[in-house]
């Protein structure tokens, strides 16, 4: 695979389709697994790490996923390619920075991917557009079964699937939904959401940008407890109790904004669009922030001549590694800001 095979398009899970897509960008489930009979990564000999790498690579490539599958040698990949995979949520920053034989397997649609020798021997993930956690679970559990036919995982009857960090032990499951909550943010209710989520043992992080800071009103909500609840209990808690409630709050806040503060709302949306259409240089952070406002404008039908797919596309294509791979050159910060503004103007003026 060449990075440019994927860098010109957005990931399928980000195409704006799927149930409740006006608030829920995507749903993701990942499972952490380790091979029985080997140490975890920190105490693994080079030789064993190579053996695990080879065995898991072979096993996962042999799965019949019904689509093209790529293997990427992360240890040998150029830094910019690794950055691209991070931007597309296919590997973690930890995986990019790790050492020794390690790899990633990626299905062409990017709905399935696996990391070999990250913090655990194996982490597989399934991402779907919109709120579709049950579909994610059906798929990932089936892949997990198929892998298990060929590999024995470390498992204890007391603690379940054994992982390098006790925060993942048990089911090894991390369930996340990526949410766009601009109206809750605008009406200063986002802290309420964060506090409620934390009270219920959920983690809230940003979706884009460095570290965990939420840029552009995108939030990723995920479970912290992995032991003592079954996978279905965790998933149902998410998709039937918590997420629908957050969606309702966000939609209510949007309705109220239109009813009571339409002038403020339109000002914000149109200013964002104005800057995006005319800026000659724009930072990644500013672009995310403004695109978030435009996305809200499109979803609320305050902007009618720009399709949501164009907005979604711009989120991803203007990230630093995407910009550089698509332009075919290494760019410094100014160069990136210039290129980013150019791409945004190009896409928005077409409409």
Partner 1 sequence: MKCQCCKASATIHITEIHDGQRVETHLCEQCAQKQGVAVKSQIPLNELLTTLLSSKKGNQIDTISEDSASNHSCPECQMSYNDFRKEGLLGCPNDYEAFGDQIKAVIESAQSQNDTHKGKVPKSAPEKTKKQVEINKLQQELDKAVKEEKYELAAELRDKLAKLENEAQ
Interacting residues toward partner 1 by CB under 8 A? 34, 36, 38-43, 119, 141, 144-145, 148-149, 152-162, 164-167, 169-171, 173, 191, 194, 198, 201, 203-205, 212, 224-233
Which residue number, 65 or 146, has a Cβ lying nearer to partner 1? 146
Q: Nearest approach, Cβ of 204 to partner 1 (angstroms)?
A: 7
95/295 with CB nearer partner 1: 95
Closest to partner 1 by CB, 211 vs 328, is 211
Q: Minimum distance between the CB of residue 5 and partner 1, rounded to whole angstroms?
A: 33
The least distance separating partner 1 from the CB of residue 93, rounded to whole angstroms, comes to 12
Give dist(CA 115, CA 104) in Å, integer. Answer: 5
What is the chain's percent helix, strand, coil content, to nearest 5? Answer: 50, 15, 35
Give alpha helix (H) positions in 13-92: 46-61, 79-87
Measured between alpha carbons, how far is residue 186 from residues 10, 153, 257, 302 in Å? 27, 46, 9, 16
What's the alpha-carbon Rg for the chain, to the nearest Å? 21
161, 169 contact by CB (below 8 A): yes
Q: Which one, 62 or 167, has the nearer CB to partner 1?
A: 167
Minimum CB separation from partner 1 for residue 42, in Å? 5
Task: CB nearer to partner 1: give 222 or 284.
Answer: 222
Q: From the CB of 156, what's the least distance to partner 1, in Å?
A: 6
In the bound complex, what is the minimum distance in angstroms from residue 190's beta carbon to partner 1? 9
Query: For residues 62 and 234, what is the distance between their CA atoms, to the nearest angstrom?
Result: 30
By beta-carbon proximity to partner 1, the closer residue of 116 and 276 is: 116
Nearest to 169 by CA among 113, 237, 227: 227
Which is closer to partner 1, CB of 36 or CB of 262? 36
The DSSP line for 217-279 is TEEEEEE---SSS-HHHHHHIIIIIIHHHHHHHHHHHHHHHHHHHHHHHHHHHHHHHHHHHH-
CB closer to partner 1 out of 80 and 165: 165
Q: How far apart are CA 330 and CA 3, in angstroms?
A: 14
Closest approach of Cβ 141 to partner 1, in Å?
7
For residues 159-196, one letter each, b for 16 or more C-beta atoms within 10 angstroms of the residue's C-beta and e for the rest, the string is ebbbbbeeebbbbbbbbbbbbbbbbbbbbebbeebbee
Residues 113 and 145: their CA atoms lie apart, in Å, by 15
Shortest CB 243 distance to partner 1, Å: 20
Residue 9 or 195: the one with the smaller Cβ distance to partner 1 is 195
Please list, in sequence order, all residues whose beta carbon lies within 8 angstroms of the beta carbon of residue 110, skipping any fewer than 6 positions away. 6, 11, 12, 13, 88, 90, 127
Minimum CB distance to partner 1, residue 166 (Å): 5
Buried b (16+ CB within 10 A) or exposed e, 268-283: bbeebbebbeebeebe
């Amino acid at each position: 695979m060449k990075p440019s095979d994927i860098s010109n398009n957005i990931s399928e899970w980000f195409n704006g389709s799927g149930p409740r897509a006006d608030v829920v960008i995507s749903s993701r489930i990942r499972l952490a697994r380790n091979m029985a009979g080997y140490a975890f990564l920190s105490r693994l000999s080079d030789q064993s790490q190579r053996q695990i790498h080879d065995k898991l690579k072979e096993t996962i490539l042999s799965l019949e996923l019904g689509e093209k599958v790529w293997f990427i040698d992360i240890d040998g990949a150029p830094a910019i390619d690794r950055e691209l995979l991070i931007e597309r949520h296919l590997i973690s920053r930890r995986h990019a920075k790790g050492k020794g034989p390690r790899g990633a397997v990626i299905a062409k649609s990017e709905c399935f991917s696996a990391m070999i020798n990250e913090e655990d021997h194996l982490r597989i993930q399934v991402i779907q557009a919109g709120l579709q956690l049950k579909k994610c679970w059906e798929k990932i559990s089936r892949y997990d079964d198929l892998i298990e036919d060929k590999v024995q995982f470390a498992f204890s009857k007391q603690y379940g699937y054994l992982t390098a960090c006790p925060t993942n032990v048990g089911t090894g499951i991390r369930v996340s939904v990526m949410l766009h909550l601009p109206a809750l943010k605008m009406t200063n209710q986002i802290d309420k959401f964060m506090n409620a989520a934390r009270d219920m043992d959920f983690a809230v992080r940003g979706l884009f940008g460095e570290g965990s800071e939420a840029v552009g009103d995108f939030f990723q909500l995920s479970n912290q407890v992995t032991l003592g609840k079954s996978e279905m209990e965790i998933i149902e808690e998410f998709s039937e109790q918590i997420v629908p409630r957050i969606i309702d709050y966000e939609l209510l806040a949007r309705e109220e904004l239109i009813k009571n503060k339409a002038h403020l709302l339109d000002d914000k949306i149109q200013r964002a669009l104005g800057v995006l259409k005319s800026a000659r240089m724009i930072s990644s952070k500013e672009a995310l922030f403004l695109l978030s406002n435009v996305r809200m404008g499109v979803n609320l039908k305050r902007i009618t001549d720009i399709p949501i797919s164009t907005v979604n596309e711009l989120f991803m294509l203007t990230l630093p590694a995407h910009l550089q791979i698509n332009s075919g050159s290494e760019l410094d910060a100014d160069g990136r800001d210039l290129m980013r503004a150019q791409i945004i103007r190009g896409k928005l003026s077409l409409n």
